[in-house]
Structure 1
């Protein structure tokens, strides 16, 4: 038997090693191929297992949101103010007094904002300017006038804020009679807010409150001075 040269022995050993590695790689590739084929099914099974828990979590979150909104609306309803403007010519004692009034007929406090009064389309700044334009107020008219703030204060539920009152006296009877007629020509609008910072404006004695984001800042505000 003729011995093979050393170089041929090395070549034969290398060929045997390559064959062994090839067989091993083939087995690994096969396992990877099978795993890739099973991957969609594995993902689907995980989804099916997790879907009910996800749906339950979403349902609980939605129910919590709905309950929170319902609670908020109930709280707002329990603190809802409803302010209206009115005027009268007789006080609680039956005496002849013309009053301009803001009434809170709601169930919650009202934070009163600006008030604007116009006479014949022109804004008036205070009670004396109003009586001068509408009724010819003179220095010697014997005016019996009382005022109170109509903005920047809180009106309790059921409270009436009489922000301008003119009592009849013998000295101002003529002016009082004119104001009795002209008071119906006043254009009065007001703004008020709830404790939740919800705001509304009203205009006139039978006005339906109009929701606004905040009280206007461009009104010619009527002040009590």
Structure 2
């Protein structure tokens, strides 16, 4: 068996190496530990910065849609309106909307007036409607999706609607340009965040309007 210049056999050299191997391993780990910590810190700071940037972008384009109702127009004339208003800083992409009266879902403005105000008995009733979904609502913009101006012909219906409009349960879903979505319900303060707009609502749609003595 050959020996090393210092008289050690390969077995002895191997045994000594194995004896010092843990120390060598620990030494390498200690030497590399600062670099590992620095790499982890940089990765964490990059994640925090990216998350902060995303939140800033989302917050800078966040819509805030609320439901409201009024019985006068901008000129102070009697005119009942149901509207959605975007009080946020970014555009709102309006999704589905549901309107209920006395627990019953209403599919159209015609159903609404039938349920609350005996519209079937009206002659020459005229009311205004606007699309309430699949459109973008700019910051500060309001959408009046139902309007009923007061006229001599609809006096009794107007009074009924003016009273019963407070009993409507209105909820709507909307999303930001970053596909963050919320549900606003009634005249609540804060909308509820959701992953996506629900698909199981009993949808209200102005497209389902049925003509009732001149309704449009």
Match status 1:218 vs 2:162: no
The C-alpha deviation readout for 1:156-194, integer Å capped at 9, x for no partner, is 100101001111121111111111111111111111111
The structure number with the bigger radius of gyration is 1
What is the aligned partner in structure 1 of residue 63 from structure 2? 81
- Greater RCO (Cα-Cα under 8 Å, separation 6 or more): 2
Gaps of 5+ in 2: 210-216
The C-alpha deviation readout for 1:43-90, integer Å capped at 9, x for no partner, is 111111111111110011101111111111111111111110000111
What is the aligned partner in structure 2 of residue 126 from structure 1? 108
Q: Which moved more, 1:167-176 or 1:60-69?
A: 167-176
User: Runs ≥4 in structure 1, deviation > 4 angstroms?
Assistant: 22-26
Q: 1:194 to 1:22 in 2, by over 3 A?
A: closer
Cα distance in 2 between the residues matched to 1:28 and 1:206? 83
What is the aligned partner in structure 2 of residue 141 from structure 1? 123
Cα distance in 2 between the residues matched to 1:56 and 1:26? 42
TM-score scaled by length of structure 1 = 0.86
TM-score scaled by length of structure 2 = 0.89
Match status 1:160 vs 2:142: yes
The C-alpha deviation readout for 1:73-131, integer Å capped at 9, x for no partner, is 11111111111000011111222111000010011111111111111111111111111
Q: 1:23 to 1:184 in 2, by over 3 A?
A: closer
**Greater percentage in helix:** 1
Work out the number of aligned pairs and report it. 205
Q: 1:28 to 1:198 in 2, by over 3 A?
A: same
